[in-house]
Amino acid sequence: MPADQIAIAEADPRSGDARGALAACYAGLAQRFPGGFDVTLSRNPDAQDMIRPGGIFLIARSEHRPVACVGLKGRNNWGEVKRLWVAPEARGKGLATRLMEQIERTARDLGMILFRLDTNSALPEAAAMYRRSGWVEIKRFNDDPYAHLFFEKRL
């Protein structure tokens, strides 16, 4: 799938496409994390947290099917990025970077001045991308049992 044929659009995180993308995200995490992944133990945002005016949920589609997603959960003037996922067949096309750039633009429009996110050490490519994109590693800011690395970025 050529990168220019992947469209990114805002979506309702309660929609079938969003639920399918999130299920694929969770399945991928279960395969990568030692001991698996149980979303009920994670700091999983409510769908309401990722809907305007407080947040946003984006889905990238190729041939009308989801191949990536990311959410933004708003907290007054700062936001937390959640559930960045790219399907294996869509990796290597800069899609995660495009999603993060669009999330940043939207966060600015929503009046946010700071971003935070967490990730697991079993996802070194994610941590590397965040560092390349100007994210700074910070101390733990939540109690998510799957989170090992914590990042922040001023907008």
Contact assessment for residue 93 and residue 6, using Cβ atoms and an 8 Å cutoff:
yes
Number of structural domains the chain divides into: 1
Q: Quick check: is 142 in a domain?
A: no
Domain-embedded: residue 150: no
Q: How far apart are CA 53 and CA 111, in angstroms?
A: 10
Q: Is residue 143 part of a domain?
A: no
CATH number at residue 28: 3.40.630.30
- d(C-alpha 108, C-alpha 70), whole Å: 16
Residue 42 DSSP label: S
Q: What is the pLDDT along the chain (155 residues), one digit of tens a residue?
A: 666 689 999 999 999 999 999 999 999 999 999 999 999 888 777 778 899 988 999 999 998 899 999 999 987 789 999 999 999 999 999 999 999 999 999 999 989 999 999 999 999 999 999 999 999 999 999 999 999 999 999 99
Would you say residue 146 lies in a domain?
no
Q: Which domain holds residue 96?
A: 3-112
Here the contacts of 23-26 (C-beta below 8 Å, separation 24 or greater) are 24/66, 24/85, 24/87, 25/69, 25/83, 25/85
Strand 149-154, strand 114-119: pairing = antiparallel
> Is 125 part of a structural domain of the chain?
no
CA–CA distance, 146 with 29 (Å, rounded to integer): 10
pLDDT at position 45 is 75
Q: Is residue 40 part of a domain?
A: yes
Q: Is residue 82 part of a domain?
A: yes
Please give the model's pTM, rounded to 2 decimal places: 0.94
- Phi/psi-derived region of residue 10, left when phi > 0, alpha when psi is between -120 and 50, beta in every other case: beta
